[in-house]
Amino acid sequence: MQRHAALTLVMLALASVPARAEIDFSGSWVSINHEDALERGAGPNPADWAGLPFNESGRAKALGFNQSVISEPERICWFQTQWHIAAGPFSLRMWAVPDPVTGRVQAWVVGAWETRAPMTIWMDGRPRPGTHAPHDQTGFTTGVWNGNELVATTTHLKVGYMRRNGAASSDQATITTHFRRHGNLLTVTMFMDDPVYLTEPYILTRAYNLSTNPVSIGGPPCITGDEGVESGRVPHYLPGQNPYIGEMTKRYGIPVDALMGGAETMYPEYRDKLKDAFVTPPKCALNCGG
């Protein structure tokens, strides 16, 4: 009797505790590529790093980048890091993985694309691997709830791209991803915190619409072929030899200094520096939308 009474009291108490706030992110989320449409779709213009909080190392590495590097046999099947969620154009498919015994959510998964491995967000409190554990493009991600917001932290990444024109992230980078749902609208905020190439975190926010059409995940297996770069050669530009510097200036009238990025280019005051150096461009003739 005493045991039953105690059990009843416990159950009543548990019923009065607010449920741990969790929201269901399951489903197919179609990417709304209205901002940074060119950068996320066809790809950014070469030597355009405006609005990116580079340090000198980040800028130097980007200036040495030659797009043909991705045709190296060693890199044809090289995956993007999880940053590609924000930097790329693709939609998301998300699902929860329950623990087979307790039914509790063990992980949330953001499905893969052709060039990005799935992001498995471990929710079970498992420890992060040690500092010297192997790194890869997938990284290791854990998640916590902040009310109905899912916050995922990714470490143990290999070198990747912040922008697909050579702006690189290092293997010391940490990506923090915030998922917020408003009915059928999803807002994803991503922070790239990289002490090697950035002076402050790089921030991107993206929006998605829930869809009943399933977003495909994965893709055909990547097959290495001959794309014209022989094995052993690493396409690059030596310091001072990047041929694309000035291309954006010709096309859009933007001064080269601004295109070289740096944290100051992210803030309104920078417009004062730009005003006199900017040249109004002619009518758009390429990649104009429509």
Partner 1 sequence: MKNLILLVTLLGAVSWTPALAQGRGGRAGGPPQPPATPRGAAPVDLTGYWVSVVTEDWRYRMVMPAWGDYQGVPLTPAARKIADSWDAAREAASGEPCKAYGAPALLRVPGRLHITWQDDETLKLETDAGQQTRLFHFGAWKSPGGSRTLQGDSLAEWEGGGRGSTDGSLKVTTSNLKGGFLRKNGVPYSDNVSLMEYYELVTQPDGAPLLVVTISTTDPEYLRVPFVISSQFKKEPGNAKWKPSPCSATW
| Residue ranges that bind partner 1, judged by CB under 8 A | 2, 6, 9-10, 12-14, 16-18, 21, 32-38, 50-52, 145-149, 151, 174, 176, 178, 180, 182, 185, 187, 189, 191, 193, 201-207, 209, 252-254, 258, 265-271, 274-275, 278, 280-284, 287-290
Long-range contacts from 98-101, C-beta under 8 angstroms, 24+ separation: 99/124
Q: Shortest gap between Cβ of 203 and partner 1 (angstroms)?
A: 6
Residue 142 to residues 80, 102, 154, Cα–Cα distance (Å)? 19, 19, 7
| Residue whose C-alpha is closest to residue 26's, from 178, 212, 188, 205 | 212
Cα–Cα distance for residue pair 130/121, rounded to 1 Å = 17
Asked if 215 and 111 touch (Cβ cutoff 8 Å), the reply is yes
Cα–Cα distance for residue pair 159/169, rounded to 1 Å = 6
DSSP state for residue 262 in the 8-state scheme: -
Q: Shortest gap between Cβ of 154 and partner 1 (angstroms)?
A: 12
Q: Shortest gap between Cβ of 107 and partner 1 (angstroms)?
A: 20
Q: Shortest gap between Cβ of 220 and partner 1 (angstroms)?
A: 28
CB of 172 or CB of 187, closer to partner 1: 187
CB of 157 or CB of 229, closer to partner 1: 157
Cα–Cα distance for residue pair 160/84, rounded to 1 Å = 9
Give burial (CB, 10 Å; 0-12/13-18/19+) of 14.
exposed
Q: Shortest gap between Cβ of 92 and partner 1 (angstroms)?
A: 15
CB of 44 or CB of 229, closer to partner 1: 44
Q: Shortest gap between Cβ of 87 and partner 1 (angstroms)?
A: 11
CB of 84 or CB of 206, closer to partner 1: 206
CB of 17 or CB of 101, closer to partner 1: 17
Pairing between β-strand 119-122 and β-strand 92-98 as defined by DSSP bridges:
unpaired
Residue type, 18: P
Cα–Cα distance for residue pair 166/65, rounded to 1 Å = 5
Q: Shortest gap between Cβ of 75 and partner 1 (angstroms)?
A: 26
CB of 95 or CB of 191, closer to partner 1: 191
CB of 130 or CB of 267, closer to partner 1: 267
